[in-house]
Amino acid sequence: MYVIGLQEKNCGIISLLNDTAFEDTWSSFFMDVLSPLSFIKGNKGGVHICMKLYGYYVSIINCHLPPHMTNNDQRLEHFDRILEMQNFKGLDIPNILDHDLILWFGDMNFRIEDFGLHFVREAIKNQCYSDLWEKDQLSMAKKCDPLLREFQEGPLLFPPTYKFDKNSNNYDTSEKKRKPAWTDRILWRLKRKPKDDPHISRLLAPHFSLSQKSYISHMMYSISDHKPVTGTFDLELKPLVSVPLITLTPEGLWTLENDMLISYTLTSDFLSSPWDWIGLYKVGLRDINDYVSYIWVGDNQVFCSDRLNQVYINISDITETEEQFLLCYYSNILRSVVGISKPFQIQPRAFMVADTFKDQLQN
């Protein structure tokens, strides 16, 4: 899974004039949705995505907190406020603090206090980053803020990522000469575990765990006054949902000659729709629209029992290939793929002609 978070679009004079005359479609789309909810456009805040992964709740927050050395209290206030606002009304989703994992990242704008510009730059030059950690505002806040303390972060073993002259690796040489800082951060929080008997806890294997494999900056990119930061994680879990909502099976030997039969079963709690569809894809698909053929399950059903359903799909227009295929069931209600078959092959026409001729000779 790749998660990419961006902060700040170009706010130069040309960009501002363009925005005044022509609002970009991205902003226009969001404001059509958010304006009725009393939101207005601002240049700081957070974006939250929540997903249910094999029965676990995973939240991802990308944020841009207030800047400047003296606004640390305001940053912490925004941090708490963003968390408090993450309630999904009417969707039966628990409070974000009850989610199994929160990944929080972005331009948090925390600065390095007390030390002067010369000391900070010398420490960076000599890679003595540990001398700066104790005065990093985020690190200090984690020691006293109960909620922030629950978030973990990997060691800052890379140079501060702010502020650089654009198109260079030189820290700010403008008149302001802003002090370098680790403004771009990646944090995570695992759900608090109940205080069970420690003896029992040792016997039970963890069902959900996250470990960070890397936490680095990328100095080669210079189009911004920040250097991008990436974190790589291993997420291990024991699925709480052991049975997929839909199980798909291609029946018999598939050829390019005829309509082919698909069997699929539904779990008892799955709510189907006449607008659900099954797509045939080549293995390695990148998008849900990459199908080579599809059928509406409501219009093409040939058999239906308590759980088992069967439909035909036409594949005669598919180009012959040695690639493998798979079937995906798309739920219109859930707006997502809820079932994927195992990969299989479709036999080419030439193979079937030769095989039929062989059978005739034997007869």
153-199, pLDDT tens digit by residue? 999 999 999 999 999 999 999 999 999 999 999 999 998 765 544 54
Q: Is the pLDDT of residue 63 over 90?
A: yes
User: Is the whole-model pTM more than 0.75?
Assistant: no
- 56-64 and 101-107 beta bridge pairing: parallel
Which carries the bigger pLDDT value, residue 199 or residue 82?
82
**Contact in structure between 339 and 332 (CB atoms under 8 Å):** no
Cβ burial, residue 314 (10 Å; 0-12/13-18/19+) = middle
Strand runs (DSSP E) across 65-115, as ranges? 101-107
> Which tokens belong to 222?
């210079």
What value, to the nearest 5°, has the Cα angle with vertex 68 and ends 144 and 146?
Answer: 15
Q: Cβ(279)–Cβ(293) under 8 Å? A: yes
Structure tokens at 148: 């922030």
- Does residue 216 surpass a pLDDT of 70? yes
Rounded to an integer, what distance in angstroms lies between the CA atom of residue 205 and that of residue 203? 7
DSSP 72: H
269 versus 314: the higher-pLDDT residue is: 314
Determine the pLDDT at residue 270: 85
- Report whether pLDDT(354) > 60: no
DSSP helix/strand/coil, 123 = helix
Q: Which amino acid is at 308?
A: L
Residues 237-256 have a mean pLDDT of 83
Average pLDDT taken over every residue of the chain: 86
pLDDT at 286: 83
What phi, psi does 123 have (nearest 5°)? Answer: -65, -40
Split at pLDDT 50, 70, 90, the class of 202 is very low
Residue 20 has pLDDT above 70, yes or no: no
For residue 93, pLDDT over 50 is answered with yes
Query: Rounded CA gap, 120 and 112, in Å?
Result: 8
Structure tokens at 313: 């799909």
Hey, what domains does the chain have and what are their CATH numbers? 13-237 (3.60.10.10), 246-351 (2.60.40.2840)
Residue 327: predicted pLDDT = 95
Provide the 3-class DSSP secondary structure of residue 96. Answer: helix
| pLDDT confidence band for 15 (50 / 70 / 90) | low
